[in-house]
């Protein structure tokens, strides 16, 4: 163990740090886990997908430019608009957010990386492979063709027999893994990996926005994943969840989809608003007003957005009282949105605003997004919605919100942070011309499209007759979209020129106050040569010499210890230093795991389920391999971090990032389970063609032993981490064995119960019961694996009274499994009860 001595010479310090943080060149790049690199990959890939989605949009507009267009036939058109929507929402917007966040967040928080660098890398590969599946499908002419919200029964086997819908379900679910892993990672990073002293109320607003957004992703994506799995199971094995003739209900899909789909819109908007809240004060040349009001309004917005989903279903035939709840909640979001808008306007008035290029895009954002918000209130009004739903009015509205509320801020962000990426600022700029082309083109396309919709043009039609009065409108829209496309092309050229020929201005060209500008530009692999103490919201405004001081190693951790990658972890609210977080360096493991996952998804796609099982086991196996070589064999106590301070390593802190990650991931898991339970009850209560022909006769012995096994496993796992047991290897071993054994018993009982489920392909009752049982059984099986894994870690000496992280994580899993298991058993009995005639 080398004693940590701060290195005062910037060059030597840089060399020492870079040696351990650097990503190897050549093929070694595939092992990159560093947030700067992974973030950049996400961003570049997302913009490539934006290009693809944009090309598809051009095809749509070319086809609709004139009545009776013959450019694309109906089949191709259906694939094109479905892929346009899917690419834009899942392969462009969400991944771009992830990329921007990975790149910026640690730098803004004063950390050297995200909390789980390998997880971000794994997420990136999942995104890339999942996106590739969709694009390859499109190139082969079998792209999904039922619209981006994939309504059943159109997407069920009888009406879409081909592989098209499977591609969507599997590709998108694969990509969603990256969204979920990013959600967990972002939450933990914001909560734990901040500069010392940065209490929650000193965080840059962007971090608040991302914290809230990540929570929304955590709760928003599981319903979609559950829905997709159910639909794929229906398509592959004939279990009827959405088939009304066999006790399923197509409306259930709509609930699950929009439970995700509405929050999705805010998941896309909030990070963009975070960008506005970051950039606008820089060009207003003063701090933002209403910090507290903004934090309050984003939290409110996040919750409200989970109470809106039925506004996409106003024409389904739901009673007025229910529609009115959702209509009211939908108009209510205008208020937290208005709070932010007026905070921004107030900031401009209070400052001395400067009209630089990023600011121009933000003005464009104001105009377009406010318009989209106003039409949003209109479509939230039930009777008006009955007229414009599924017309081009809604297409116009959604583009005003998405392009105004996301694309414009992202273009502003590109201009604003490009100097950070490249260290260069433009010599000459085409940016203003590009802006005006994009802005004018956009409004030309979509402003009049409101009228097209009001004149009765429904969406998703590949051609139309001349006599409807839509010809001029459509032609102008198409011309506008090409103007916009030219603008975007010019934008790309401008960016390329700046990357290649820009001049080097030195640090912090915009005179911003947030910490990311304290790193070198382009940023070094370790971000900060030493970690600052932060006691204000704009640290760079407070002390202009900060960047230099950090480079000279005058903050914390201005050295390399044991050749390890280290950053600091803090207490969640106060931001007091709490632990040294030791991070993993470059490794191929994320890529290996992602390949295993790809094997699983492709095997499911092509229905070779033996291979799918192998892929699944390989994924879990390689994920467990990630922990090899991590952790300590002996307690090492507090370590020096500089300035005479000592804190323990994360494994000994009792509050390690991985423990937080487990708890947070379980929230997502609980949401998935909740969606499944909701689906089952929904079918039992409202679906047509109930009661089922045959109810399950649950064997009380089986359900009893399942419950007993589950509870016993949870109790034993609890014992294994109690202070009397933890220090003794033999006692730990005993309780972990009991845990694994209890899980096996529960698993056997659950499998037994599954055999008692009446013909699952004949009625949704059996199908739902089977799926819920499988969900729990999977958790139990993994529980057994985790218990054995804990045993192995304990045997290898990674566990002690203070190094209990591994077992604590297991304990959380076992307790959660017991909880959902018991709820499932109750649910199964309740379903039989509501379903009995």
76 to 105, contacts with ligand HEM by CB under 6 A? 81-82, 84-85, 88-89, 93
Q: Rounded CA gap, 168 and 144, in Å?
A: 6
Q: Rounded CA gap, 763 and 596, in Å?
A: 34
Residue 718, contacted partner among Cu ion, other proteins, ligand HEM, none, CB below 5-8 A by kind: none
Q: Rounded CA gap, 793 and 774, in Å?
A: 28
If one asks whether residue 389 binds Cu ion (CB under 5 A), the answer comes out as no
If one asks whether residue 536 binds other proteins (CB under 8 A), the answer comes out as no
Give the interface size with other proteins as a residue count (CB under 8 A): 117
Report helix, strand and coil shares of the chain as percent, to nearest 5.
Answer: 70, 5, 30
Stretch that binds other proteins, among 329-337, 404-412, 497-505, 724-732 (CB under 8 A): 329-337
Q: How far apart are the first and last CA of the chain?
A: 72
Residues sharing a CB contact under 8 Å with residue 711, sequence separation 6 or more, in sequence order: 818, 822
Give the interface size with Cu ion as a residue count (CB under 5 A): 1
| Strand pairing class (645-647; 577-583) | unpaired
Q: Rounded CA gap, 573 and 109, in Å?
A: 14
* Least Cβ distance, residue 481 to ligand HEM (angstroms): 4
Find the binder of ligand HEM among 32, 33, 395, 570 (CB under 6 A). Answer: 395
Site for ligand HEM in 474-503 (CB under 6 A): 481, 484
Which position's Cβ is nearest Cu ion?
A: 262
Spatial CA neighbour of 567 closest among 559, 575, 548: 559
Residue 154, contacted partner among other proteins, Cu ion, ligand HEM, none, CB below 5-8 A by kind: other proteins
Residue 812, contacted partner among ligand HEM, Cu ion, other proteins, none, CB below 5-8 A by kind: none
Spatial CA neighbour of 514 closest among 288, 204, 289, 290: 204
Between 262 and 415, whose beta carbon lies closer to Cu ion? 262
Find the binder of ligand HEM among 399, 424, 582, 793 (CB under 6 A). Answer: 399
Q: Rounded CA gap, 273 and 205, in Å?
A: 10
Residue 262, contacted partner among Cu ion, other proteins, ligand HEM, none, CB below 5-8 A by kind: Cu ion
* Least Cβ distance, residue 705 to other proteins (angstroms): 32
If one asks whether residue 448 binds other proteins (CB under 8 A), the answer comes out as yes
Q: Rounded CA gap, 597 and 618, in Å?
A: 8
Spatial CA neighbour of 713 closest among 806, 634, 812: 812
Query: Which residues are paired to 391 by β-bridges?
Result: 458
Q: Rounded CA gap, 816 and 779, in Å?
A: 9
Which tokens sit at 775?
Answer: 């969900």
Which tokens sit at 607?
Answer: 């229905």
Q: What are phi and psi of 44, to 5 degrees?
A: -65, -45
Q: Rounded CA gap, 824 and 665, in Å?
A: 20
* Least Cβ distance, residue 143 to other proteins (angstroms): 14
Q: Rounded CA gap, 16 and 90, in Å?
A: 40
Q: Which residue has the tokens 């058993």?
A: 825
Site for other proteins in 186-245 (CB under 8 A): 199-202, 244-245
Site for ligand HEM in 139-198 (CB under 6 A): 147-148
Residue 323, contacted partner among ligand HEM, other proteins, Cu ion, none, CB below 5-8 A by kind: other proteins
Q: Rounded CA gap, 499 and 519, in Å?
A: 19
- What's the gap between Cα 29 and its chain centre? 24
Scored b (16 or more CB within 10 A) or e, 782-807 reads ebbbbbbbbbebbeeebbbebbbbbb
- What's the gap between Cα 429 and its chain centre? 34
Residue 823, contacted partner among Cu ion, ligand HEM, other proteins, none, CB below 5-8 A by kind: none
| Strand pairing class (565-570; 577-583) | antiparallel
* Least Cβ distance, residue 685 to Cu ion (angstroms): 24
Over the window 255 to 284, marking each residue x when it contacts Cu ion by CB under 5 A and - when it does not, the resulting string is: -------x----------------------
* Least Cβ distance, residue 64 to ligand HEM (angstroms): 7
Assign residue 240 a region: left if phi > 0, alpha if psi is -120 to 50, beta otherwise?
beta
Q: What is the DSSP string of 603-661?
A: HHHTT-HHHHHHHHHHHHHHHHHTTTT-S-SS----EEEETTEEE-BGGGSSS-HHHHH
Find the binder of ligand HEM among 16, 60, 259, 772 (CB under 6 A). Answer: 60
Residue 366, contacted partner among other proteins, Cu ion, ligand HEM, none, CB below 5-8 A by kind: other proteins
Find the binder of ligand HEM among 152, 173, 445, 800 (CB under 6 A). Answer: 445
CA-based torsion, 718, 828, 249, 393: positive or negative: negative
Residue 690, contacted partner among Cu ion, ligand HEM, other proteins, none, CB below 5-8 A by kind: other proteins
Between 14 and 84, whose beta carbon lies closer to ligand HEM? 84
Spatial CA neighbour of 216 closest among 276, 273, 288, 165: 273
| Strand pairing class (639-642; 565-570) | unpaired
Site for other proteins in 107-166 (CB under 8 A): 146-147, 151, 153-154, 159
Over the window 10 to 39, marking each residue x when it contacts ligand HEM by CB under 6 A and - when it does not, the resulting string is: ------------------------------
Burial of 712 (0-12, 13-18, 19+ CB in 10 A): buried
* Least Cβ distance, residue 311 to Cu ion (angstroms): 5
| Number of Cβ atoms within 10 Å of the Cβ of 503 | 10
Find the binder of other proteins among 296, 428, 617, 625 (CB under 8 A). Answer: 296
Which tokens sit at 728?
Answer: 């003794």
Over the window 467 to 496, marking each residue x when it contacts other proteins by CB under 8 A and - when it does not, the resulting string is: xxxx-xx--x--------------------
Q: What are phi and psi of 381, to 5 degrees?
A: -85, 120
Residue 629, contacted partner among other proteins, Cu ion, ligand HEM, none, CB below 5-8 A by kind: none
Find the binder of ligand HEM among 14, 35, 41, 61 (CB under 6 A). Answer: 61
Residue 57, contacted partner among Cu ion, ligand HEM, other proteins, none, CB below 5-8 A by kind: ligand HEM
Which position's Cβ is nearest ligand HEM?
A: 85
Between 436 and 698, whose beta carbon lies closer to other proteins? 436
Find the binder of other proteins among 293, 599, 782, 812 (CB under 8 A). Answer: 293
Find the binder of other proteins among 550, 570, 666, 687 (CB under 8 A). Answer: 687
Stretch that binds other proteins, among 377-385, 434-442, 616-624, 765-773 (CB under 8 A): 377-385
Residue 456, contacted partner among Cu ion, ligand HEM, other proteins, none, CB below 5-8 A by kind: other proteins
Between 173 and 443, whose beta carbon lies closer to other proteins? 443
* Least Cβ distance, residue 262 to Cu ion (angstroms): 4
Site for Cu ion in 454-513 (CB under 5 A): none
Spatial CA neighbour of 626 closest among 10, 33, 22: 33
If one asks whether residue 78 binds other proteins (CB under 8 A), the answer comes out as yes
Site for ligand HEM in 283-312 (CB under 6 A): none
Site for other proteins in 380-409 (CB under 8 A): 381-391
Note whether 96 and 144 are within 8 A (CB): no
Stretch that binds other proteins, among 3-11, 56-64, 309-317, 716-724 (CB under 8 A): 309-317
The residue ranges that bind ligand HEM (CB under 6 A) are 54, 57, 60-61, 81-82, 84-85, 88-89, 93, 147-148, 395, 399, 402-403, 406-407, 445, 459-460, 481, 484
């Amino acid at each position: 163990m080398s004693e940590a001595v701060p290195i005062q010479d910037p060059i030597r310090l840089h060399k020492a740090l870079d040696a351990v943080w650097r990503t190897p060149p050549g093929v070694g790049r595939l092992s990159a886990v560093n947030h700067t690199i992974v973030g950049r990959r996400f961003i570049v890939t997302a913009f490539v997908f934006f290009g693809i989605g944009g090309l598809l949009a051009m095809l749509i507009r070319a086809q609709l430019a004139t009545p009776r267009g013959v450019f694309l036939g109906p089949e191709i058109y259906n694939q094109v608009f479905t892929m346009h929507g899917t690419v834009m929402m899942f392969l462009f917007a969400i991944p771009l957010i992830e990329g921007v966040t990975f790149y910026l967040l640690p730098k803004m928080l004063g950390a050297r990386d995200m909390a789980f660098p390998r997880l971000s890398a794994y997420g990136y590969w999942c995104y890339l492979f999942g996106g590739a599946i969709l694009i390859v499908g499109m190139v082969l002419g079998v792209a999904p063709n039922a619209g981006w919200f994939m309504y059943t029964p159109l997407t069920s086997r009888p009406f879409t027999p081909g592989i098209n819908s499977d591609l969507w379900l599997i590709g998108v679910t694969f990509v969603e893994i990256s969204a979920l892993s990013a959600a967990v990672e972002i939450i933990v990073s914001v909560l734990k990996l901040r500069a010392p002293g940065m209490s929650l109320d000193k965080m840059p607003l962007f971090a608040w926005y991302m914290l809230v957004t990540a929570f929304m992703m955590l709760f928003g994506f599981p319903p979609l994943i559950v829905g997709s799995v159910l639909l794929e199971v229906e398509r592959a094995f004939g279990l009827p969840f959405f088939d009304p003739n066999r006790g399923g209900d197509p409306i259930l899909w709509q609930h699950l989809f929009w439970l995700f789909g509405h929050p999705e819109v805010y998941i896309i908007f909030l990070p963009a608003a975070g960008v506005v809240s970051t950039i606008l004060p820089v060009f207003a040349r003063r701090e933002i007003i209403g910090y507290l009001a903004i934090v309050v309004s984003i939290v409110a917005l996040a919750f409200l957005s989970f109470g809106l989903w039925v506004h996409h279903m106003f024409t389904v035939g739901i009673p007025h009282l229910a529609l009115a709840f959702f209509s009211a909640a939908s108009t209510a979001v205008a208020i937290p949105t208005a709070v932010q808008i007026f905070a921004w306007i107030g900031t401009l008035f209070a400052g001395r605003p400067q009209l630089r290029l990023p600011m121009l895009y933000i003005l464009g954002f104001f105009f377009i997004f406010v318009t989209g918000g106003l039409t949003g209130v209109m479509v939230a009004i039930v009777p008006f919605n009955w007229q414009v739903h599924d017309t081009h009015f809604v297409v116009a509205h959604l583009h005003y919100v998405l392009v105004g509320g996301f694309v414009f801020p992202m273009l502003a962000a590109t201009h604003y942070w490009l100097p950070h990426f490249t260290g260069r600022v433009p010599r000459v700029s085409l940016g203003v011309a590009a802006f005006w082309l994009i802005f004018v083109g956009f409004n030309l396309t979509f402003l009049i499209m409101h009228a097209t919709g009001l004149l009765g043009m429904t969406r998703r039609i590949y051609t139309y007759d001349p006599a409807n009065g839509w010809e001029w409108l459509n032609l102008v829209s198409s011309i506008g979209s090409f103007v916009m496309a030219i603008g975007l092309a010019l934008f790309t050229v401008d960016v390329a020129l700046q990357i290649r020929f820009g001049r080097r201005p030195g640090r912090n060209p915009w005179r911003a106050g947030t910490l990311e500008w304290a790193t070198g530009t382009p940023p070094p692999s370790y971000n900060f040569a030493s970690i600052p103490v932060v006691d204000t919201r704009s640290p760079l405004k407070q002390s202009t010499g900060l960047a230099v001081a950090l480079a000279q190693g005058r903050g914390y951790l201005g050295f390399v210890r044991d050749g390890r990658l280290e950053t600091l972890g803090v207490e969640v609210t106060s931001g007091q230093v709490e632990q040294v977080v030791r991070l993993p360096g470059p490794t191929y493991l994320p890529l290996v795991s992602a390949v295993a996952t790809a094997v699983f998804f492709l095997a499911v796609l092509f229905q070779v389920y033996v291979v799918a099982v192998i892929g699944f086991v390989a994924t879990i196996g390689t994920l467990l391999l990630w922990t090899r070589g991590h952790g300590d064999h002996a307690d090492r106590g507090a370590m020096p971090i500089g300035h005479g301070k000592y804190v323990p390593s994360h494994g000994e802190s009792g509050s390690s990032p991985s423990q937080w990650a487990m708890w947070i991931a379980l929230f997502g898991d609980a949401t998935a389970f909740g969606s499944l339970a909701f689906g089952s009850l929904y079918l039992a209560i409202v679906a047509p063609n109930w009661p089922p022909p045959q109810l399950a006769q649950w064997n009380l012995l089986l359900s009893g032993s399942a419950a007993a096994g589950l509870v016993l496993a949870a109790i034993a796992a609890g014992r294994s981490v109690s202070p009397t047991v933890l220090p003794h290897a033999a006692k730990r071993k005993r309780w972990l064995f009991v845990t694994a054994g209890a899980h096996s018993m529960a698993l056997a009982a659950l499998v037994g119960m599954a055999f008692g489920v009446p013909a699952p392909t004949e009625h949704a009752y059996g199908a739902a019961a089977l799926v819920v049982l499988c969900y729990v059984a999977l958790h139990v099986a993994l529980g057994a694996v985790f218990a054995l894994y804990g045993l192995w870690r304990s045997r290898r000496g990674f566990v002690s009274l203070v190094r209990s992280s591994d077992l604590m994580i297991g304990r959380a899993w076992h307790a959660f499994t017991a909880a959902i298991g018991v709820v499932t058993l109750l649910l199964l009995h309740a379903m039989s009860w509501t379903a009995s005639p």
